[in-house]
């Protein structure tokens, strides 16, 4: 593409923060220490997880960069950044989470395939850009449209990013047209992250942000937008990121039996303690994040310091000084909440956290019950071991 190219090797990848925990070097996949996530409600770009499938694309000329919008529409259009900048700008605070977050813990039950994420393949940012519903009006598709006059029902996003899973072709994904044309769904063509231009790792110069949906659908380094009749047939829509039962293995899998995963389920993680922590007996602050997909708020976070026998409710918050109310207009509906509670821990024990969303969905107790061969959507109760010690060592 003029103005934006995908390199053939990793020699021109950008520098990254040294504290990131690297899960794969080429392509670069890394997450921050869990403690960094609860340091602020909005995750700095440097500490936002990096999920890549190939070398990071390079912008050579921002003025020549464009996105081609075509397919089952009356008037295809080439959009330059100046065209997108002219549209009303919206800031949407939204949490993105890789479907493989907490995969490493699922692998302890039985080995799964995929990047070995711990608990930090998630982040919360303020995304700035144009609403996709406004962009689609430029090619004659009105807001709140489910099907175009030519039979288009899905919006496919194609990246300049090339990946081996597509046999060297581009990364791509799609969302239903009804979601793309709904202004309330807040699907963005984003060019800013936390008030700054997107970094290269996060999709500069233009990416899609689909709030409330697994990160795999928020395509970076956008090249084409296609209006299509059926959902995207790309690898990551049809041969990956689908939820199978524990009985399915690589010998009996039939990808056609499951729909592509979209919304992510309710999730919470303790970030103030590692998987195994040594503490001084006494009062201990337990904090972390909780999030649910589809715009559902967090109704409750329960914390146990006796392995799940008894529970206490943690406080929940988003913005400092503003009380958090699930699904209230003052709250960010697409964003996580941070939680904290102080408990007396006098002996070695297991600390557990679970969240309940506004639809009363609760996390499953055991990872074994939701084990799946790709290791996605591990939303089981989060457990950490705590060893109480009076030693100063």
Burial of 90 (0-12, 13-18, 19+ CB in 10 A): middle
| 316 phi, psi to nearest 5 deg | -125, 145
CA-wise closest residue to 352 among 368, 366, 371, 372: 366
For 354, how many CA atoms within 13 A lie in the half-sphere containing its CB? 18
Instruction: Give alpha helix (H) positions in 5-138.
Output: 34-37, 81-86, 103-107, 132-137
Q: Give the bridge partners for 303, in sequence order.
A: 312, 353
Q: What is the pLDDT at residue 320?
A: 83
Residue 328 CB neighbours (<10 A): 11
CA-wise closest residue to 42 among 98, 103, 2, 95: 95
Q: What is the pLDDT at residue 44?
A: 98
Per the CB < 8 A criterion, the answer to whether 31 and 47 are in contact is: no
| 332 phi, psi to nearest 5 deg | -85, 105
Number of H helices, E strands in the chain: 6, 23
Per the CB < 8 A criterion, the answer to whether 216 and 31 are in contact is: no
Sheet holding 170-176, edge to edge: 77-80, 66-71, 222-228, 154-162, 170-176
DSSP string for residues in 118-134: -S-SEEEEEEEEEEHHH
| 34 phi, psi to nearest 5 deg | -60, -30
Q: What is the pLDDT at residue 1?
A: 67
Q: What predicted TM-score, i.e. pTM, was given to this entire model?
A: 0.97
Q: What is the pLDDT at residue 390?
A: 78
Kindly state the tokens that stand for 33. 């220490």
Q: What is the pLDDT at residue 151?
A: 98
Strand, helix or coil for residue 10: coil
Q: What is the pLDDT at residue 323?
A: 87
In order of 40, 78, 88, the CA distances from 62 in angstroms are: 32, 14, 20
Q: What is the pLDDT at residue 392?
A: 56
Strand, helix or coil for residue 136: helix
List of long-range contacts for 33-39, beta carbons under 8 Å, 24+ apart: 33/120, 34/118, 34/119, 34/120, 34/269, 34/271, 34/274, 34/288, 35/271, 35/272, 36/120, 37/120, 37/122, 37/123, 37/271, 37/288, 37/289, 38/271, 38/272, 38/287, 38/288, 38/289, 38/338
Which residue is it, tokens 């002219």?
86
Strands 188-193 and 207-209: antiparallel
Kindly state the tokens that stand for 239. 């041969």
Report the alpha-carbon distance of residue 156 to residue 350 in Å, rounded: 45
Which residue ranges in the chain fall short of pLDDT 70?
A: 1, 392-393
Kindly state the tokens that stand for 101. 């977050």
């Amino acid at each position: 593409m003029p103005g934006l190219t995908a390199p053939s090797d990793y020699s021109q990848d950008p520098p990254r923060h040294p504290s990131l925990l690297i899960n794969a070097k080429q392509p670069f996949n890394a997450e921050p220490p869990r403690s960094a996530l609860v340091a602020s409600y909005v995750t700095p770009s440097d500490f936002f997880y990096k999920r890549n499938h190939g070398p990071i694309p390079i912008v050579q000329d921002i003025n020549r960069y464009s996105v081609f919008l075509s397919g089952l529409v009356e008037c295809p259009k080439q959009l330059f950044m100046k065209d997108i900048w002219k549209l009303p700008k919206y800031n949407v605070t939204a949490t993105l989470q890789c479907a493989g977050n907490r995969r490493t813990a699922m692998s302890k039950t039985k080995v799964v395939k995929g990047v070995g994420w711990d608990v930090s393949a998630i982040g919360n940012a303020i995304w700035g850009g144009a609403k996709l519903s406004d962009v689609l009006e430029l090619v004659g598709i009105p807001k709140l449209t489910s099907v175009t006059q030519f039979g288009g029902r899905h919006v496919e996003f194609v990246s300049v990013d090339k990946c081996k899973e597509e046999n060297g072709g581009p990364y791509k994904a799609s969302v239903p047209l009804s979601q793309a044309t709904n202004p309330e769904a807040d699907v963005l063509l984003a060019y800013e992250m936390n008030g700054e231009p997107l970094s290269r790792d996060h999709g500069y110069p233009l990416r899609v942000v689909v709030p409330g949906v697994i990160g795999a659908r928020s395509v970076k380094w956008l090249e084409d937008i296609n209006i299509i009749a059926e959902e995207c047939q790309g690898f990551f829509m049809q041969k990956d990121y689908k939820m199978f039962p524990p009985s399915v293995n690589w010998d009996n899998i039939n990808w056609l039996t499951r729909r592509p995963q979209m919304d992510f389920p309710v999730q919470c993680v303790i970030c103030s303690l590692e998987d195994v922590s040594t503490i001084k007996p006494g009062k201990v602050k337990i904090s972390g994040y909780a999030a649910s997909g589809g715009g559902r708020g967090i109704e409750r976070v329960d914390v146990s310091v006796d392995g799940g026998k008894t529970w206490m409710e943690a406080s929940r918050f988003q913005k400092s000084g503003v009380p958090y109310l699930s699904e209230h207009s003052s709250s960010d509906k697409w964003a996580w909440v941070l939680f904290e509670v102080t408990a007396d821990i006098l002996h070695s024990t297991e600390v557990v956290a679970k969240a309940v969303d506004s639809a009363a969905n609760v996390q499953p107790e055991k990872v074994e019950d939701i084990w799946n061969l790709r290791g996605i959507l591990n939303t089981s109760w989060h457990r950490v071991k705590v060893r109480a010690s009076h030693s100063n060592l």
